[in-house]
Amino acid sequence: MEHCPLSLPLEAVLHRVRTRAAIAHVAAAWLLGVAAAAGAADGLPETPAGAGGVVAVRVGDTPIFRAEVDAVLRRVSKGRALDPDRESRLAAETIEQLVDERLLRREVDARQITIDEDEVSDIIARMRGQLSDRKIPFEVFLAESGRDEASLRGQIRLELALNRMLLPQLTTATLDAAYAKHRRELDGTVVRASHIVLRPDPGRGADALDELLRRAEGLRTSILRGDVTFAEAARRHSAGPSRRQGGDLGYFPRHGAMDEEFSRRAFALAKGEMSQPFATGFGVHLVLLTDVKPGDVGRDAVRPQLEKLVLQDAIRDIVARGRRQTAIEYAPGVPHFAPDPGPDQPGRRVVVTAPAGVAP
């Protein structure tokens, strides 16, 4: 398993030119989420003024046009041909991020938060200066990030509005609560885990993931019943090289060593606990946490990380509430994720709404 940190040139430039940028990375993480999924780093554009064409999704009374989705897909795929399953999942990820972005904008509008355009212009001017210092023309930067100045201003405007809306939540009480909740992943704790990874058969197509989840659940049941040990199941069934050690991965920290989703799942376990089956880009996993070595890093030393966690949670709450309260309608033929059945049943299914009168 390999951890591949993302390169976010646009967000990095935005971050450098802000004077109060605590939310910058968090907001960008939502706006750049689909790029992250594809290993790219382009921001999602603000809805173009007067945009028209075929509607892919309606978020309340706000449309998302197919042209917007297609533009993001072209950027993140960089012109590479994708297999149909990967293309469908990438489209669903793109649409999910665009919906989230619309929900954030709706919340900003509902709270009547306005941003002075002079503030946006000041950030643009500082961006131009920093790019000029690096001998990068502003127009080249825009072209390489797949946007124009209007969409860049839209992103900056949204991030500044999120700053204004969410920074008051960074209180001593919320930071203390976040440290207590996330202490294991912040204080230098390392864990030891074993895992079983099942990889899909490329010929199985759309059914491959569901089949692997069922197989992993069967293995988990057998292990819990005592029919087989975790180590023996790993030796027999795991597709990873750690199978030769009964699935043992050794000790690793919360960040930087493993795939993010894998590490998050492992650190959420108690010693001796086995995870539910879950999917990453490497396959479907079962994880057994075998040991924990607590760290000793204090709260003040990790304040920037705590701020990010508090603000991420706040943004997730806004988006989750928006999804509950806002009608989201997908046009026929548009790939999107079925409602998540819950944190213990991952592996979201991509679905496509059939046209009226056509059996799915």
Going along the chain from its start, the domains and CATH numbers come out as 9-169+327-352 (1.10.4030), 190-293 (3.10.50.40)
Residue pair 267/291 in contact (Cβ under 8 Å)? The answer is no
Give yes or no for a contact between 32 and 12, defined as CB atoms under 8 angstroms apart: no
263-295 as b/e: b if 16+ CB within 10 A: bebbbebeeeebbbbbbbebbbbbbbbbebeeb
- Among residues 241, 156, 143, 140, which one has the least CA distance to residue 197? 241
How many degrees, rounded to 5, is the angle at CA 291 between CA 289 and CA 292?
Answer: 105
97's tokens: 């991020």
Q: From CA 354, how far away is CA 334, in angstroms rounded?
A: 9
Provide the token pair at 341.
């059945």
192/269 Cα distance (integer angstroms) = 11
Alpha-carbon distances of 168 from 16, 122, 175, 246, rounded to whole Å: 22, 23, 12, 49
The sign of the dihedral angle between the CA atoms of 235, 241, 242, 245 is positive
Q: What is the pLDDT of residues 23-80, one digit of tens each?
A: 444 444 434 333 333 333 333 344 444 445 899 999 999 999 998 888 888 777 777 7
Contact indicator for 314, 103 with CB cutoff of 8 Å? no
Under a CB-based contact definition with an 8 Å cutoff, are residues 355 and 343 in contact? no
Angle at alpha carbon of residue 264, lines to 258 and 265, rounded to 5°: 105
By the 10 Å C-beta count (0-12 exposed, 13-18 middle, 19+ buried), 354 is classed as exposed
Determine the pLDDT at residue 340: 59
**C-alpha to C-alpha distance for 31 and 8, rounded to whole angstroms:** 12
pLDDT value at position 82? 75
pTM more than 0.85: no
Neighbouring C-beta atoms of residue 109, cutoff 10 Å = 12
H or E stretch at 193: strand 190-198
pLDDT at res. 62:
92
* Residues lower than pLDDT 70 in the chain: 1-52, 146, 202-207, 340-347, 355-360
